Structure 1
Amino acid sequence: MCGISGIYSFDSQKVIDINLLKAMNALIEHRGPDDEGFCLIEKNSHKILPFSGDGSKEDIRQLYPSLNLSARASLGLGFRRLAILDLSMKGHQPMLDPQLNLLIVFNGEIYNYIELRQELIAQGYSFNSESDTEVILKAYDFWGENCVLHFNGIWAFALWDANKSLLFCSRDRFGVKPFYYCRNRDFLYFASEIKQLLLTPVDKSLNLPMIWRSMKINSLEVYGEETFWQEIKALQPGYNLIVDQHGITLKEYYKLNPASFGKSSLSLPEAIEIYRETFEKAVQLQMRSDVEVGSCLSGGLDSSAIVCTASRLTDRPLQTFSAYFPEYPPLDERKWIAEVVHYSGCISYLTAPQAEDAMAWFNDATWFNDLPLGSGFTAQYAVMKLAQENGIKVLLDGQGSDELTAGYRHSFYRFLADLILQTKFHKALKEALAWLKKYGCIKGLSGLAKALLSIFLSEPQLYNFEFRFLRFEPFNQDFLQQCKKSLSEPILAQISDFSSKSVSKFFSQHPIKLNNTRTLTSDNFSKPTCDKLSNFLYNAVYTTSLPTLLHWEDRMSMSASIESRVPFLDHNLVELAFSLPSEYKIHNAQGKYIHRQAIKPLVPTAIFNRKEKSVFGSPFISLWLRGPMKTSYESLITSSTFRNRGIWNLPLIMDNWQKYLKGNNSQAEMLYNIYALEMWFRRFSQKAVI
């Protein structure tokens, strides 16, 4: 929806740098081209002073003076607005409630704001606007920090409680919206994007283990609170950050509970019906907007289900946006897109980006992304630009379903391992034979070998195995030694392994209240274990997949001033999916079984019957690097800038490049990663790393 900036002074004698606040806000105009605003908390009087900015609308300029760069303030908040709800000036931010003495900057949407508004009105609150932002202020006043537990939505906000001289910040349950912060001795800086914090005086030393980790496993480009800079941290999903003169406190308010995994007593037909109803309700809630809502459409089951459901909930044809690559048939979905368009009556807009477009966009897209680009960025970037050109500000997208109901092939390996460990040998044999029939002898036996490996190795050990052996090492020994010196814990330490011991520890740290009468802890369970499939999916949600996908989703959409909404990550649907038995998720070697059965009535038969779908992406590694981008790639890896970087294992890179040119794709992803990281260095860090 928007972008935020903030500076807080811990030292009662020191004032914030207002020029810096203004510069931080200017960097995220793309997140909010509709309006700009600032508020300063005066140092001595503690008055809240609102200001307009260079990007403010005319009515806001008439109402508030221009930002006073010479003011003395202990807190400054900046905001860029993408107007989605209550398009009037009443939706302007920073939003102040003078009666409650509360002030907020908020990026995101509270989808159930109408219901909460009615609940709060019943409690005696009155409202000045139709915005969800004001609902947060009243909800905080009524419920305090627990207000976030009442929200169904996506958010990153900073709320100043003047009565308590306290800054209350929060990020949504699964991290759809970003929030970054850093601090030195005297000041806290926070923002929607990392690039804003690169303007601050905080140390900009790079986090070498983070760079190393992300190169070896693509899906770990986002990892807990870490970023590519040592001193810049991400507020993790499901966390609040509370700031006062004594310092910073981090509080986890939400986490999926392993005690509930697989414990549902619903029959399969009951689960299918409830899953469908929960999904449809999520789409309905996320259609709430005062501007037109469109949707991405890839031709796969997930986006098709969203489009077909959303089309029934709007009084105008839903606009959909798709990318295709005619030169690479696995990524040409036009046939399937046409099926959905005919079935739902939506309007389809198509774009076919070429390698030349990818090269032309690469530098700017890297800047928007803050991190090295994934190889599929071209399709996502092109779709967002297309939606922007057609006047769309909000898009629905299908991220999350694979993590909920076992859509990745690696899910099957854990599932088969579980069946064997549970001595369900007949079921295991049936699934193994179905797998072999589906993938053939060579691919099938390889998958079964991985399933056997999953029996003997924990989840962290499996990822460590991938880290060490899947891809060649692109860095030289000097770089690796520097990485290992700076590691305070194993490089994959945040990957969870829910053994009985670890789940018991989880319960002791996260007691759960049932019916507000008793507390559920490890003492209530004799063997609180979590099967390997659930463990894998839990890690996919919090560590190994979804965080990175959501980062790309946010940056590519906001680069075009578009808010992306993800119905499959409605927390009610996520919790339901994790409560269901593994057998509901994988059946006859096919993942997302309950997901498929639930949305079967919603989509065209041809879409439901599709056997395989390519991963949403672009033909970077399959075609472009050895084709139209070959000269560009070779120019990069033979350049003096690349060689003087001081980190690359040049002989090994050249050897694998030559193998790739001869048709060997086994290391193509790593070769792309090298290109993306070097381009990132040139955009964000001109200095050598070591």
Structure 2
Amino acid sequence: MCGIAGIAAIRGRATTDEIGRITRIVAHRGPDDHGYLGYNSSTRMACFNKDEAELQRGSERGYDVLFGHRRLSILDLSESGRCPMSYDGGRLWITYNGEVYNYIELREELKGLGYRFTTGTDTEVILAAYRAWGMECLHRFNGMWAFALLDVEKSILFCARDRLGVKPFYYHWDGSLFSFGSEIKQLLALDRVSKEMHAGVLFDFLTFDTYGCNSEQTFYRDVLDMRGGHYLIVPLKNNDGWAPRPVQWWDIDLRRKEAGRTDRQYADRYLELFEDSVRLRLRSDVPLGTCLSGGLDSSGIVCIVDRLLHKAGVEGLQKTFTAVSDNPAFDEREYAQAVIDATRVDPSFVLPTPGRLLQDLERLLWHQDEPFLSTSIFAGWCVYGLAREKGVKVTLDGQGPDEMLGGYYTFMYAALLAENAANLCVGTALRNAQGVHDTLGFSYPRIARDFLREVGKGLLPVSMMSSLRKARTLFQPAFFDRGVRESVFLKERAELSEWRRKAGGSRFDRLLYRFTKHDSLPGILRQVDRNSMAFSIEARLPFLDYRLVEYTFSLPNEQKLLGGVAKQVYRRALSGIIPDKIRDRTHKLGFVTAESEWLRQDAKNVFMETFNKISTSAPYNRKPVQERFNQFLNGQAGFDTMMWKVFCTERWFAIDAQRGA
């Protein structure tokens, strides 16, 4: 895990002071080592040095390509693992962030083809795999990655991102220079990159609790985010008229379906894939631990790790890290303790508090680069901080099953009910409706409302129209009009009808796909990466092993949702492995905070002060924001996420202003 940076001069020359600046700014991503590469395509001379000053002294020839790298040492901790790394006599160079977990198997396969290795790193395996198989090598990797590979012979940069975008790759193109990095702040540190906000993305965030969707656009108009499952070729020669056009190399195939198996057979195959995913992600030369929320997903990881360590005869205890709360409604200590009692672990706990949130908020926002939807991100921040205090550099985390196995209990059920009704499966629809009511306590009117909207409007979010009405009262008229025009979210929804006709799969399949690829998981992955790397920790996500993802999407709907209970195949697969108290849970919290309580009490004055300072140039009107917050404080209205979003955005504006100063 590392921080990468690069500049390719399509026209003109890249400067060493810029590569030094955008590499140093992500030192937190790689505190163990660093290195630079300067390459001149005319002379085909490369200058590799750890010393930025040495790179500067060699720059009189001029550089077409500059790489910067910050290393977090996880595999092969020796200096031979330093990046940027070369291969094949300097014909290939790479700066790379991530892990290819099946590197041992790939290395053996490549040795059989005659390739030689001088390090124990997965980085060298990537280079050899590219030499052997070209860009098709991506399909052989099992892991998470973002890299830029310089092919000297072809005079190109080959930039690629893992299937689901676990590792980030941001870029900027100004018509002359192509620049990239692991974080937005790197590109904003370049004078040629404008810090102008993208009104549509900000509008989407404030209005719909989302942004970006399936778009590359970030909050900053000049900074783009290459999507997961894409690659990009940057030609260093013969490049007249070139502009970045990422190419999709992987996607989830909704047409592929498993059928004809029993429940037990589906579950056994799921367990086989899940256990192997965890096994691969235990490969590390540094201390490793597990984030344990007490929920179904993280508990499964802890129990599988315990099972694998026991099989391997490892006597050491697995380290676990859990966020707890003083508010019983948000405290999952009881469930985490059930897992701890059933396994051999060394548990640690952290109590996120509103005081620490306010104390850490500026640092948290600086690392995130963009505002975020709620304070739940702060619980994860505290957990990674705890892991770092305990000397752990790698964690296993449980993101993914909610999106892929129907763990979000709101309008996912409405989509499934609508599908059953459309297929005249009235009995199944009624049983699912009864299950939702019995399991979650949702009212029948709420289910009926969501059901009718799903049938009538396809897969539009239930609250879209009411969100727009609320936004019109809160926002300045000019911002509202511009936001609607430039909204990435609304544009994508307008184009979804054609996508639905082509994608295959059922309505429910497409909803799970949308949550996994568009609306939910990408934002979570951004937050996990920034939170973990803020503490120089590599977060590994076993549920996002591509084999498990593809298998999960191929399963029949009833293996995901049945009788109002989600994650059916996962619960069945983990039977006898995780405590029944966890396996039978039908409600979830994860790493959350008592947000509403914090706003009413400890953080009240800070929020009021922030709202009172909203300027006339802000996108929202001060008066309705203040009124809504006062109604909330007086008990006249419930908690509204808009209050946090406005507060967070205002604090982000302040940090952004400091960056531009």
Number of equivalenced pairs? 646
Per-residue CA deviations over 1:437-471 (Å, capped at 9, x if unaligned) read: 2344x634312321222111112465744643577
Residue 432 of structure 2 corresponds to residue 431 of structure 1: yes
> Hey, what's the Cα distance between the residues in 2 that align with 1:617 and 1:490?
28
Among 81, 97, 104, which residue is 1:107 paired with? 97
With over 3 angstroms needed to count, the CA separation of the structure-2 counterparts of 1:462 and 1:365, relative to structure 1, is: same
Q: Secondary structure at 2:269's aligned position in 1? A: helix
Which residue does the alignment assign to 1:340? 339
Q: Give the corresponding residue for 2:553.
A: 578
User: What is the aligned partner in structure 2 of residue 329 from structure 1?
Assistant: 328
Give the counterpart of 2:289 among 286, 290, 294.
294
What is residue 565 of structure 1 aligned with on the other side? 540
Name the SS for the 2:308 alignment partner: coil
Structure-2 separation of matches of 1:496 and 1:537: 19
Aligned: 1:212 with 2:207: no
Partners of 1:615 and 1:452 in 2: how far apart?
30
Report if the CA contact (8 A) 2:472-2:480 is conserved.
no
Equivalent residue of 2:97, what SS?
strand
Partner of 1:476: 476
- Map residues 54-203 of structure 1 onto 2, 5 A cutoff: 65=54, 68=57, 70-71=59-60, 72-99=62-89, 101-200=91-190, 201-203=192-194
| Matching residue of 1:227 | 218
After TM superposition, the structure 1 = structure 2 runs for residues 430-509 of structure 1, keeping only pairs within 5 Å, are: 430-440=431-441, 443-460=443-460, 462=462, 464-465=464-465, 467-468=467-468, 474-485=474-485, 487=486, 491-495=489-493, 502=499, 505=502
Distance 1:673 1:221, change over 3 A: farther
**Alignment gaps of 5+ in structure 1:** 55-63, 507-528
Root-mean-square deviation (CA), in Å?
2.1
2:609 to 632, 635, 638: 635
Quote the Cα distance in structure 2 between the aligned partners of 1:490 and 1:463: 17
CA distance in 2, matches of 1:638, 1:611: 42
Following superposition, the deviation at residue 67 of structure 1 comes to: 5.1
**Equivalent residues of 1:384, 1:562 under 8 A apart:** yes
| Partner Cα distance (1:125, 1:158) in 2 | 21
Q: Is the 8 A contact 1:295 1:395 kept in 2?
A: yes
Check conservation: 1:472, 1:667, Cα contact below 8 A.
no
> How far, CA to CA, are the matches of 2:206 and 2:590 in structure 1?
20
Counterpart in 1 of 2:246?
250
In structure 2, C-alpha distance between the alignment counterparts of 1:117 and 1:413, rounded to whole Å: 47
- Contact 1:393–1:562 under 8 Å retained in 2: yes
Whether contact under 8 Å (1:51, 1:67) holds in the other structure is no
- Cα distance, 1:436 vs structure 2: 2.4
Letter of the 1:437 partner, please give it.
D
2:259 to 235, 244, 264: 264
In the alignment, the residues of structure 2 paired with residue 497 and residue 573 of structure 1 have an alpha-carbon distance, to the nearest angstrom, of 29
Q: State the SS of the aligned residue for 2:86.
A: strand
2:500, 2:510 within 8 Å by CA — same for their partners in 1? no
Secondary structure, counterpart of 2:510 in structure 1: helix
Report the alpha carbon displacement of residue 391 of structure 1 after superposing the two structures with TM: 0.8
* 1:596 alignment partner, SS class: helix
State which drifts further: 555-564 or 421-430. Answer: 421-430
Task: Please tell me whether residue 649 in structure 1 is matched to residue 626 in structure 2.
Answer: no
> Which whole-Å CA distance do the structure 1 matches of 2:28 and 2:466 have between them?
37
Aligned partner of residue 432 in structure 1, secondary structure = helix
Which residue matches 1:679?
Answer: 651
- Decide whether aligned partners of structure 1 residues 125 and 504 sit closer, same or farther in structure 2, where only a CA change above 3 A counts: farther
Q: For 1:192 and 1:403, how far apart are their aligned partners in 2? A: 25
Counterpart residue identity of residue 609, structure 2: S
User: Counterpart amino acid of 2:399?
Assistant: Q
Deviation at 1:583, TM superposition (A): 1.4
- Name the SS for the 1:321 alignment partner: strand
2:413 corresponds to which letter in structure 1? Answer: F
- TM normalised by structure 2 equals 0.94
Shift of the 483–471 alpha-carbon distance from structure 1 to 2, 3 Å rule, reads closer
Q: Does 1:554 align with 2:529?
A: yes
1:179 and 1:191 in contact (8 A); partners too: yes
Report how far residue 569 of structure 1 moved: 0.7
Alignment CA distance shift 1:229-1:594 (3 Å): same
How much has 1:494 moved relative to structure 2? 2.9
Secondary structure in structure 2 of the residue aligned to 1:242: strand
1:365 is displaced (CA, Å) by 0.3
Q: State the distance in 1 between where 2:286 and 2:646 align.
A: 40
Runs of 5+ unmatched residues, structure 2: none
For 1:114 and 1:211, the matched residues in 2 are separated by 44
Show the counterpart of 2:412: 411
Of residues 614, 633, 636 in structure 2, which corresponds to 1:661? 633
2:19 maps to 1:21: yes
Aligned residue in 2 for 1:595: 570
1:493, CA displacement in angstroms? 3.0
Deviation per CA, 1:214-247: give whole Å up to 9, x if none.
1122243665201011121001110001101313
Identical positions, percent: 32
Cα distance in 2 between the residues matched to 1:41 and 1:349: 47
What code does the residue aligned with 2:570 have? H
SS at match of 2:75: coil
Shift of 1:412: 1.2
Q: Secondary structure at the match of 2:491?
A: coil
Looking at structure 2, the residues matched to 664 and 69 of structure 1 have their Cα atoms a distance apart, in angstroms, of: 68
SS in 2 for 1:306: helix
* 2:299 aligned to which of 295, 298, 304: 304
Query: Partners of 2:51 and 2:466 in 1: how far apart?
Result: 49
- Determine the structure 1 residue equivalent to 2:280: 285
Deviation at 1:413, TM superposition (A): 1.4
Quickly say closer, same or farther: Cα 1:302–1:49, change in 2 above 3 A: same
Task: Give the Cα separation in 2 of the matches to 1:309 and 1:495.
Answer: 39
Tell me if structure 1 keeps the 8 A contact 2:439–2:586. no
CA distance 1:43–1:436, change in 2 (3 Å) = closer
CA contact (8 A) 1:258 1:503 kept: no
SS state at 1:213 partner: helix
Question: Partner letter of residue 453 of structure 2?
Answer: L
Q: Structure 2 CA distance, aligned partners of 1:3 and 1:357?
A: 27
For the residue of structure 2 that corresponds to 1:412, the secondary structure is helix
For 1:309 and 1:580, locate their aligned partners in 2 and report how far apart those are by CA, in whole Å: 22
1:108–1:156: 8 Å Cα contact kept in structure 2? yes
Once the two structures are superposed, the pairs formed by residues 311-390 of structure 1 within 5 Å of their partners are: 311-314=306-309, 315=314, 316-326=316-326, 328-373=327-372, 374-390=374-390
C-alpha separation in 2, matches of 1:115 and 1:470 = 55
Contact 2:471/2:480 (<8 A) preserved: no
Aligned counterparts of 1:334 and 1:461: Cα–Cα separation in 2: 33
Q: Give 1:495 deviation, angstroms.
A: 4.8
User: 2:158–2:231: 8 Å Cα contact kept in structure 1?
Assistant: yes
- Letter in structure 2 aligned against 1:312: R
Inter-partner Cα distance in structure 1 for 2:32 and 2:379: 26
**2:230–2:249 Cα contact (<8 Å) kept:** yes
Cα distance in structure 2, aligned partners of 1:220 and 1:138: 37
